Every structure is written in structure tokens, then in C-alpha cells.
Structure 1
Amino acid sequence: MRLLATDLDGTLIFHHAVGQADAEALVRWRKAGNLLVLATGRSVQLVQHAVEVARSSTSIGLDYDYAVCATGTTVIDAAGQVRRTRMLSADQVRSVTRTVGVVSDAPVSVFASTLERDYVLDDPVGLSTDQRTPADRFTAAPLSEIAGLGVTSMPLHVPDSRAAEALARSLEEAVDGVSCTRSATFVDVTVAGESKGSGLALLAEHLAEQGQVVSEVAAVGDSWNDISMLERADVPCAIAGAPVDVVAAAGGRTTPSVAAFVDALMA
């Protein structure tokens, strides 16, 4: 049995849709007796949204075996059962929110994800009110209410890449015990040491405990938050056009699409 871990946004999902060829390739992969793992910065609830996006754009859906959610902090199975999660403390959530307001000159939208729901604390960028975002996707709530709810990650939407890099450094210096992982337009704040790579490693341990032997792990992604996952994979691959350090983490291997990568794996 082999395992394929794929990123979602910018790898499998483009312009709020999943391509037909990619969806069909993933069906073939699982029908051959292999495991499919969705590895994403998205929360548990937003993984389900990805499944809905795939179904509406391809009529196929996006059946998977496991998902590594919220930048590695949470692992769920196909039934949505949480197999493992780590959460920020209430003090860390408060410190991150306050520090963002102090150190960033650029607009930053502050979100907080729990196992059950996604919250918005501040959204000057307007992501939560974008017409392409369903009205019920994010729940507005004050910091005093959200801090103690069991936050798995805090996605910070920062459109300016230089501001995002500076913000990530500042937060890791100012707030004890957190990691800040960048993607294209987000900085995801988690408990220190969490990443897609660590989530994938813990999933491998879970599979071994269940007596499931994985002979090979393949992974495909497009951004910096995929680097840890690519470094853990036996067969890593970056989407064509990914940043140079992401391609380097994939050993220089690139693919034009998930479908092309799956075809190469199964050839």
C-alpha cells in the first residue's frame, strides 16, 4: 500500500474549483488500493468545504482516507473522527492577537480555527465578506470568547508577502511556544513544532499501530507550508511554478498537475 499526501489550495483547488482530471486521478489512486491524505492549512470544517467544492465542480467529490488539517495540528479520518489534535492555550491566542496589532503596519485579518468552527476576530482585508465566501463560513466573535474554545490554529491573512515574513518572525520572537508557517497569503500560527510534516509523521505512526504497512509516501504541494511534508516524503513533488525553495525541498521534481503526478506514480 502506498500513500499520497496532497495539498489543497494552489495544488488541487484553483479558483474555487477542482479540475476534472485531478479528481479522476485521485479516484484511480484509491481504487488501486492506495491511501489518499489531504494535507492542508485548512481547518476540519474547511476540509469538508473542499469536498463540497470538488463535488460541485466535478460531480465526483473528493473521497479521502485521512486529512492532516490546520497545518498539521489535527489528523482526522474519512468519517471526520479526530485521531489527534494539539491546541493553542488561551494565553497564546490572546498574545498572538495583541501582538499582531502592535507589530504589523500592513492590514492583517485574524482568524481562529477550532475543531467545530472557524472564527474571525478582525478582518480589515475583507476575506470573510468576499462574495465568493459563503456567509456562514466564519463566525464573528470577540477575543474574550474565542481564546478558551480550543483553538487549533490561527490563520492570519496577509496579502503582502514581505509583511507576512516579517510578521511571522515577530510573532515567534514575541509569543512563547508558537510556530508560524507561511503559505502564499497566510501565516498560520500553531503550537511550536507543528507542521504538515509532523502531522504526516504522526499519521504514519497511527497506521503502523493499526497494522497498515505503507511501502511508500508521495507528497505534492505548491507553497512554503508544504516544505516539511515534502521533506518527509519518499517521492516529493512540487507544482510547476512553486517558489524555488519549495521545488528544492521536492528534490527539483515538479509536475504540471496532481493528475500528472498520480499518473507518474502509477506508471
Structure 2
Amino acid sequence: MKIAASDYDGTLFRNEEISPADAEGVRHWRAAGNKFGVVTGRDYGMLAPQLKYYGIESDYAVCNNGGLICRADGTPLWQGEIPLTVLAEMVKDPGVRRSFHFAFSAADTTYLYHESEGSWISREARQWDFAIVPIEEQDILSLPQIHQFSLGYPDPEEALEVSKRINARFGDVVHAYPNRCSVDVTPKGISKEQGIRKLVAIMGWSDPEIFSIGDEINDLPMIEAFNGFTVDTARAAIKAKARSVYAGVGRMLEANI
């Protein structure tokens, strides 16, 4: 069994689109009897409308950096959990408060507050017709099970700085992944590698070959664990960790079909 695990932003979704070549590569891969899914930092609700728009059919989704594992139709199979008391404390941190937004991911809902100019959450919600639920800070302790807390900054350097700050202060409970201008905070021990391994166990897939591809720091766990690939637009530091560099996801799939 061959399972392709593709990052979304910057990998499958580049230059504000999924290219026809990449969409065709996914179709060929699945027609050959192989499995394909997206392994992303996004919520399922932020991912699914775009995949449908570009005609991408898949066999699973690992969302929120491994924090949520879904069937292709979005049915949750497993999710992690960040203690609400930790989230309530984290939002008081000065570095965290510089974020454009605070987005809290539950299995089927994205909760949002502290949104300011520069945030992309509401803009994408309108563009792709997914629902978000506005809350206030006092509502954090009443939220349902949350498996990812997402932040946004004006530049990648600040996202990296805040990630380091969160990991230094709260690293015994969570891990912060910088992803360009975003920071995704998940429960400690959660990663894209862990998400793929748990997916395989849940689905009962026996000893599959994993073909992972990504382009950012949060993709490194799955690139390194599965001797994976990257795309030609990735930074040199990511390319140095990858087995091969491809012009796109479609090219990687066609080469390994």
C-alpha cells in the first residue's frame, strides 16, 4: 500500500491555487489504487471547500498539525486536547497578544476572537463559506475540546520568536509550530508525523509506504520520519532535509506511482 501525505499551504496550494498538474497527479495516484490525503495546519472546515473547488478527492485528512484526524468526509476519528486553563493563561502572554487573531480549533467548529487588521481568518471564511463562531476572552474556559490554538503575525521572524517563547513557557503541555506568518499551538507530542502514524493505526493499514511532502518547519517531522520530499519553492533549510525536490505535488506522485 502506498499513502501520499501532502502539506497544503505552500505545497499543494501554491500561488493562491492548486495547479491543474497537481490535481491531475492526485487523480492518477488514486486511480492506481493508492491513498492520498492532506496533512495540514488548517482546520478541516478551512480545507474541505478548497479541495472541492479544485476537484481534489482524498482518502483522509490529518488537520491541525496532527491534532485532528478525519475521514475524507470530515468525520472525526481522533483529536488531541489542550487544557482550557492553559489556553486562558497563554492568551495573556505579551507575545501571544501581538497576534492578529486567536483561533481555537474544535472537531467541527473554529472559535475566534481578538481579531484585528492583518488577520486572514474572517476573509477566508467569507471567501470559502466556512463558519466561525465569535467568542470573548471570558468564554475560553467554556469551550469544548480544543486541539489547536492558532495565531498570526506580520512576518515569519515574529512567528518564530513567539513560537520559541510559547515553547519555553508552556512546553511541558503544548508545542508551538511556526508556519510562515502563523503559529499553530498543539498538545505536546502532536505532530504531522504522529498524525500519520495514528491514522495508519486507526485505519488498520498494514505496513504502508508513506510518501510525505511539505515545505515548512511544521512539515519537518513527517519529512524526516518518512524520508519525504519537498517542493522547489521551499527554503534551503527544508530542501536540505528532503530526499528529493519536485516542481510540485503532482510531479512527486507521478514519479512514485
TM > 0.5 = yes
Distance 1:215 1:138 in 2: 36
Q: Write out aligned runs for 1:108-187 (5 A).
A: 108-124=100-116, 125-130=118-123, 133-134=126-127, 137-147=131-141, 148-175=143-170, 176-187=172-183
What letter is aligned with 1:232? Answer: A
Distance 2:198 2:39 in 1: 13
1:89: which partner in 2?
83
What letter is aligned with 2:182? Answer: F
- 1:152-180: CA deviations, max 9, x gaps? 10111112222111111111222240100
What letter is aligned with 2:77? Answer: R
Count the aligned residue pairs: 253
Secondary structure of the 2:46 match is helix
- TM-score w.r.t. the length of structure 1 is 0.87
> Could you tell me how far 1:109 is from its partner in structure 2?
2.1
Distance 1:24 1:225 in 2: 26
> Could you tell me how far 1:106 is from its partner in structure 2?
4.8
Q: Does structure 1 residue 219 correspond to structure 2 residue 215?
A: no
Distance 1:36 1:48, change over 3 A: same
- 1:85-143: CA deviations, max 9, x gaps? 111111122122111xx235855322111111112211222323438843754332112
Distance 1:243 1:230, change over 3 A: same
What letter is aligned with 1:14? Answer: R
2:73: which partner in 1?
79
Distance 1:260 1:188 in 2: 28
- TM-score w.r.t. the length of structure 2 is 0.90
Q: Does structure 1 residue 26 correspond to structure 2 residue 26?
A: yes
- Cα RMSD, aligned residues only: 2.0
2:7: which partner in 1?
7
| Structure 1, gaps ≥5 residues long | 55-60
| Structure 2, gaps ≥5 residues long | none
Distance 1:129 1:86, change over 3 A: closer
Q: Does structure 1 residue 188 correspond to structure 2 residue 188?
A: no
Q: Report if the CA contact (8 A) 2:179-2:216 is conserved.
A: yes
2:254: which partner in 1?
263
Identity of aligned residues (%): 23
User: Which structure ranks higher in relative contact order (CA pairs < 8 Å, sequence separation ≥ 6)?
Assistant: 2
Q: Report if the CA contact (8 A) 1:106-1:160 is conserved.
A: no
Question: Which region of structure 1 is more displaced relative to structure 2, 114-123 or 145-154?
Answer: 145-154
Distance 1:75 1:199, change over 3 A: same
What letter is aligned with 2:21? Answer: A
- 1:55-91: CA deviations, max 9, x gaps? xxxxxx2211111111111111123222211111111
Distance 1:205 1:129, change over 3 A: closer
